[in-house]
Structure 1
Amino acid sequence: MRPERLNALTDGVVAIVLTIMVLELKFPAENTFAAVMEVMPLLAAYLLAFIYVGLYWNNHHHMMQSAQRVTGLVLWTNHALLFCLTLFPLMIRWIGEAGVTPWPVASFGIVLAGAALTFRMLQWALAAAASEGARIREVVQHPLKEYSSLAIYLAAIAVAFWSPYVSVAMYVAVALIWIVPDRRFARQP
């Protein structure tokens, strides 16, 4: 299979995820500051989840520019990544209903860790599918950002039970690390 079909599927799923997430947003019950503050956790969760979906889409796009072919393993690892991304609307709804509390915030971290792990697995699968000497094989051998992100997510999951806000700050920190798409793929010829 050519990479274009996989990209089209990913684009479609990402569009649906973003649509579902925005449908989770609620208007304040009244026209008061207190009512606006009640929906702020949901709005903040939406913003963070939207940024993360955008980060994954951007980095997926750059990575797939180097894809030479798509194998069954590539398909399944991409599906695993998409599965994790489709859980984002559920996580923001839970945070919207329960607030910035330990279990929803830790669960969001579990989903983020799952997305990070499956993205890394997709990198491995694409490298395995590439021909000998392909640049992607070299690029995926230096996963400092990937492993650092995963370590921060795992720490933030535990921290959520001590301070959910510190945990959220850790998720924001990882997002900031990934704001610039992975330059290793962007430098691909």
Structure 2
Amino acid sequence: MSKNRLEAFSDGVIAIIITIMVLELKPPHSTDAAGLADVLPGWLRYALSFVYVGIYWINHHALLDRVAKVDGAALWANLHLLFWMSLIPYVTAWAGEHPMAPAPVALYGVVLLLCSISFMLLSWRLDIDAGGHAMAWGSRKNRVSIALYALAILLSLWYAPLGAVIHVLLALLWLMPEVGAPRSA
């Protein structure tokens, strides 16, 4: 089957994810700096999530550029990725509203971890179809990311700001291109 329908569907879902995230943003209740400070954590978490969704969108296109056709297993692997990505608006809103609370920040990290794993599974599936070597699955950057996402979850349960710092650092890591290998987040 052609990859075009998978790309179009994925683009639509990702656009909806971004739309839902921006609709969750709350304006300040006042017009002074204190009012802005009250909503700033939510806006910062939105910005971070927007960057993550953007990283996945860009990498999804780069990954699909390498294949001509997809099979049923690749479609399910893609749906698996989109499922976890569709939870980003929920955890973004919760962690944005409670930026220092362990449970929301930890759950945000769980969703990021599962997005990363599901992207690598999709990458692995498409590499098999394209006769590739499943490079994304074994990439050092991906292994480090998985470990850091897991660490962020554990640290968030102890002291949420540490988990949040790791989330930011991982986004920055994935903004830097990795030469010669497919990318994940």
Paired amino acid for 2:168:
V
Deviation at 1:185, TM superposition (A): 4.8
Percent identity at matched positions? 38
Call closer, same or farther: CA 1:54–1:159 in 2, change over 3 Å: same
Unpaired stretches in structure 2, ≥5 consecutive residues: none
Return the TM-score normalized by structure 2: 0.92
Q: Does residue 8 of structure 2 align to residue 8 of structure 1?
A: yes
Distance in 2 of aligned mates of 1:140 and 1:120: 6
Moved more, 62-71 or 137-146: 137-146
Aligned to 1:164: 160
| Alignment of structure 1 residues 90-101 onto 2, 5 Å | 90-101=90-101
Distance in 2 of aligned mates of 1:120 and 1:19: 25
Distance in 1 of aligned mates of 2:61 and 2:177: 9
Work out whether residues 55 and 181 of structure 1, in 8 Å CA contact, stay in contact via their aligned partners in 2: no
Query: Secondary structure, in 3 states, of the residue corresponding to 1:137?
Result: coil
Query: Secondary structure, in 3 states, of the residue corresponding to 2:31?
Result: coil
Aligned to 1:63: 63
Work out whether residues 62 and 182 of structure 1, in 8 Å CA contact, stay in contact via their aligned partners in 2: no
Distance in 2 of aligned mates of 1:157 and 1:85: 17
Work out whether residues 68 and 129 of structure 1, in 8 Å CA contact, stay in contact via their aligned partners in 2: no
Call closer, same or farther: CA 1:63–1:183 in 2, change over 3 Å: farther
Deviation at 1:16, TM superposition (A): 0.5
Aligned to 1:180: 176
Which residue, out of 141, 145, 160, partners 1:145? 141
Deviation at 1:182, TM superposition (A): 4.3
Which residue, out of 148, 155, 159, partners 2:151? 155
| Alignment of structure 1 residues 75-90 onto 2, 5 Å | 75-90=75-90
Deviation at 1:25, TM superposition (A): 0.5
Deviation at 1:178, TM superposition (A): 0.8
Q: What is the CA RMSD across the aligned residues, in angstroms?
A: 1.6
Work out whether residues 99 and 160 of structure 2, in 8 Å CA contact, stay in contact via their aligned partners in 1: no
Aligned to 2:72: 72
Query: Secondary structure, in 3 states, of the residue corresponding to 1:160?
Result: helix
Aligned to 1:51: 51
Aligned residue pairs: how many? 182
Return the TM-score normalized by structure 1: 0.90
Call closer, same or farther: CA 1:27–1:184 in 2, change over 3 Å: same
Call closer, same or farther: CA 1:64–1:74 in 2, change over 3 Å: same
Work out whether residues 106 and 153 of structure 2, in 8 Å CA contact, stay in contact via their aligned partners in 1: yes
